[in-house]
Every structure is written in structure tokens, then in C-alpha cells.
Amino acid sequence: MMQLWTAYAIPLSAALLIHLHRRRRREVHALAVLKQSQETGLTEPPSLHPVVDPGLCCGAGACVQACPEEALGIVNGKAQLVNPSICIGHGACAAACPVEAIKLVFGTDKRGMDIPYVKPSFETNVRGIYIAGELGGMGLVRKAAEQGRQAMESIARNRSTGEELDVVIIGAGPAGLSATLGAMEQKLSFVTLEQEDSLGGTVYHYPRNKIVMTQPVVLPLVGKAMLGEISKESLLAFWQDIVERVGMKIDFRQRVEKVVASGQGFVVVTSAGEFRCRNVLIAMGRRGTPRKLDVPGEELPKVVYRLIDPEQYRNQHVLVVGGGDSAIEAAVAIAGEPGTTVTLSYRGEAFGRVKQKNRERVAEAAQSGRLRVLLGSTVGGIETESVDLECNGERFRLPNDAVIVCAGGILPTPMLKEMGIRVEAKFGTE
């Protein structure tokens, strides 16, 4: 009997020791990630995110395994958001938790998050104005697409009775594209406006080859799309194929400036004209409108507000403006192209809320001479073949072929309030 017990006990003990060793190693890694997040100031999640109840958490780690971004970790036997800045709020962790110890919330007790009031029909407190997708707090691709479809079903019950359009759809991200398909299926009169020159919305601005986690989604005119884990490029190609296949029309470079009530509907005023409609669906991302420098020459075509492809800047003099992760990633990527001369200008005296890996990358690029970093500098003006900078009281001119401004975006909150839409600040609440 003793021999039988020993035969089982030895392998079980070995398996337990291996499990405990691996668990301890994962905890050490999670603590290191948490410490790095705290040291770099990246402790605030950008959108919807999980909050773990330590009293309920059993430390099984199912939530950690379910998170492809690796934003969660086990610390002192409990799950914790150790890398908040990379959490995208898809909620896979909450769904995987076996004891329902995780809830998804907006904002934190330190930093509130403005969320517009939206009814279950996706109509705001202003009759005829609807919001779907990321602006309403739902950044997950599948949920945003579902909301766009459902919002259009609600709008179809309030069709125009005159010559005005049934609806103006603002934004060509997942919510806006799905809503456009819904408008076509419902045979509504509509226009879809996009302020940039590409579809995809926030997804378009993800880093190259980023894996976008989504689930099967039902799209109007298309049916059930089985996507799963898919790269940014593949997802954009998927949407582009649908656009071409159904003949979807999108009006690009139409930045919405205001929406004014008129009679039973609205007038949507854009940078290129205006549209009269019965309903408005706002499917913009929380990225908003790119923040500009407001300096002479910024209207030149060589000035852009995002990096599309580093290769297009080969053999050019390039200025990147900004001090966040997007600016550093753009500068380092372009500096890796043959023949480029890259300058990174940031008004701060040091890089603040950026990932440690990007700190290392920019330091290595600067040390190797591939990148010139000018801290405490500002752009004074932009000309066709040069750019004027001021750094530490000194003004000078650099040869320049392209300027990329990565200074973040301006949320459309003031525009929403101007429309009369109620906006609520969420401080760690659902």
C-alpha cells in the first residue's frame, strides 16, 4: 500500500512543484511589468477596462490567459491590471473569469472619462441624434459593428418625410461601416462622412501587424463574418473588400464642424458643404480630430498627422513632432529607412508617459546617430523645403521634405455638448 501511495505521490509532488515554480515566475514577471508601468506613469487605462474584486478573485489566472494584450497579471495571488495603457477593453477577461470577480468600467477614481448618454436604442437625449461605437465607450470591433447595425434599425423607424436625407453617418470605422451597410439594407437615403482619406477609423491608426481581437459578427447585406484574431491589415482588407463588393459610397475628407437643429431634423455642416437630414448617427472614434500646431505653413501638403508607411520617406529630411508613443514609434521607424534624416521635436524637457521599450528604442536610435532628438523645442513655421524650430531660446532652420505631427487628438466633447447631448463623467463606474 505504501509503495502504491509513493508511486502516485512522487509524480504529483513533482507536478505541484513545477506548477508553483511557473506560477512564481509569472508573478515575478507581472510585478516587474506593474513596476515599469508605475515608473513611466502609464497607470491610466485609455477606455473601458477591468476592475478585479480581490475578495472574489480565486487567482486561477483564466483572465490572464484570455488577455492577448497581456495587460493583466497575477500579483500576490490575485489578478491585477498591471499594464493599463495597453488594455483595449474587449472584456475577454471578464468573460473568462470563473467566479465573476471582474467588472468592466469607464474611467478611474483619479481620471474621469466623458461618456455621452445613450439609450438602449442608441439614441441620445436629443431626439434624432444617435451614437454608436468607440465614442460611446465601446471600442471592441465586434460590439461597435453590432451597435452600428442596431442603431440603423432604430433610425429606420424615423424616416424622412420630405426631401432631406434619412440619416447622415459620421465616421467610417467599424460602427460607421456596419451602419452604412444597415442603411443600404433598409433602403434609407444617407451619406457616410469620414474626416480622413481612409476607412477603418481608430483601427487604421493601430501599429502595423497589430492583432485585433474580435469575434464572429453579423453584418447587414454580408451575413455572419468569422474573424477571430486578425491583424490590422487583414481587417482593413476585409472591410475594403466589402466596400467594393456592395458598392458602398463614402465621402472622405469631410470633417464635420457642427450639427444644427433645423425643423424636424438637422443640418450637418462639414469642411466641404452641408447636408440636411432627419437623423444623425455619430460613429466617430474617441481619437477625435488631430491636434494641430497652429503655425504658418501647416496647411502645406507635406504636413500629415499620422504615419502610414515609413518607406515613403526614404531619402528625405523628416520632422516628427510629439512626445508620446506614436511620435517615438514614427520617428524610430522612419529613421530605419535608408537615406533618411530624421528629427524628433518635443516641447517637454523629457519624455513622460511612454512605454519603456520606446524609451530604449529612441535612446538607441539617437545614440547611433540615426535620429536627432530635440527636447524643449517648438515649431515656429513650415516652408516648402525647410522648417523653423526654436530650442532653448535658439532659433534655427532645418532642410525638410515632410512633417508628421503626432500630438494626439481633440475629443468631440464640446461639439456634442453644443448639440445638446448630455455627457457624463465616469470615475471607475459602469
DSSP assignment of 278-304 equals EEEEE---TT-EEPP---TTTTSTTEE
Q: Please, are residues 321 and 405 in contact by the beta-carbon 8 Å criterion?
A: yes
- Alpha-carbon gap, residue 140 to 90, rounded angstroms: 5
Residue 391 grid cell: 530650442
Which residues touch 131 (CB under 8 Å, ≥6 apart)? 116, 118, 122, 124, 151, 281, 282, 283, 421
Residue range 262-283, pLDDT digits in tens:
988 999 999 888 999 999 999 8
Please tell me the pTM assigned to this model.
0.69
pLDDT at 209 over 90: no
Which residues touch 250 (CB under 8 Å, ≥6 apart)? 172, 180, 192, 193, 194, 199, 243
Domains for the chain: give ranges and CATH numbers.
Answer: 2-105 (3.30.70.20), 114-288+411-426 (3.50.50.60), 303-409 (3.50.50.60)
CB atoms within 10 A of CB 253: 12
- Alpha-carbon gap, residue 360 to 250, rounded angstroms: 41
Q: Please, are residues 274 and 361 in contact by the beta-carbon 8 Å criterion?
A: no
Q: Residues of 204-240 as b/e, b for ≥16 C-beta within 10 angstroms?
A: bbbeeeeebbbeebebbebeeeebeebebeebbeebe
Residue range 72-111, pLDDT digits in tens:
888 888 888 888 877 767 677 888 899 998 888 887 877 7
Residue range 211-220, pLDDT digits in tens:
555 567 788 8
Q: Please, are residues 342 and 334 in contact by the beta-carbon 8 Å criterion?
A: yes
